[in-house]
Amino acid sequence: MLFDFLKAFVLGVVEGLTEFLPVSSTGHLLLVQQFFGFEDEDFGKTFAVLIQFGAILALLSIYSVRIWQIAIGMFKDAAARRFVIGVLLAFLPAAVVGALAHDFIKSVLFNAWIVAFALIVGGAILLWVDQMNLNTRYHEATKFSLPMYFIIGLAQCVSMIPGTSRAGATIVAAMLLGADRRSAAEFSFWLAMPTMAGAFAYDLYKSHGQLTTSNAIIVAFGFIVSFISAWIVVKSFLGYVQRHGFALFAWWRVIVGSLALIALALGR
């Protein structure tokens, strides 16, 4: 039982800290589960899904006022209505691809080797884009063009490969299309809301049979840890990247991916 609570704490922290950073929460969870013996045949997959819900709620709690303002304003404000359409356009590609390829992604791509390579390649791309002298035309996530929202949504589909990072894919695409660092990062938050909620609902539906009342306390503990960790990240991330960029996260990806490859090569 003590080990189960330790596992819930570690996985909750990993999920909460990495979900909204461009480092791949899925990749980190998979590596932690494999290398530290945190797999659980009975409820491991469902547990990962439910602690993700803690991260979703942290984001929604912080953005609740703005979400309400946009929801109310979309009936009389053209700008708010346009932004809602933009988020839906960005969400659509991942919704279609995720629904069609869900089983293939879970059964084939959820592989530690793939995660390690994706972390390294994604880190190199993120570092390269962060150091480019880009012409920034957009400074507000709510004011991107509609085609730009859709292209960002297409880029998000790449994050179906574990280790790529949903946030990383959307941030890189937004910056290449003219967004500054802060607005690119903030739109990754907005796009995370429908994307994560949809993925959570679908995964929960697919694995709800693994839920039992005996797991409830452990799952609740992991949920709370994930919520707190994600809340801290969301509150501090935008200010950090505006001042310092994405180099820290890019190098973290490269280091973690390289260590994972070494461990895999050594037969761990």
Tell me the whole-structure pTM to 2 decimals. Answer: 0.90
pLDDT, one tens digit per residue, over 202-211 is: 766 766 555 5
Say which residues have a Cβ less than 8 Å from residue 15's Cβ, sequence separation at least 6: 25, 29, 48, 51, 52, 54, 55, 222, 226, 229, 230
pLDDT, one tens digit per residue, over 90-109 is: 999 988 998 888 778 878 88
Question: Does residue 155 register a pLDDT over 60?
Answer: yes
Name which of 125, 158, 160 is nearest 253 in CA terms: 125
Question: Does residue 166 register a pLDDT over 70?
Answer: yes
pLDDT recorded at residue 211 = 57
Lowest-pLDDT choice from 71-75, 112-116, 124-128, 226-230: 71-75
pLDDT recorded at residue 46 = 64
Question: Does residue 225 register a pLDDT over 80?
Answer: yes
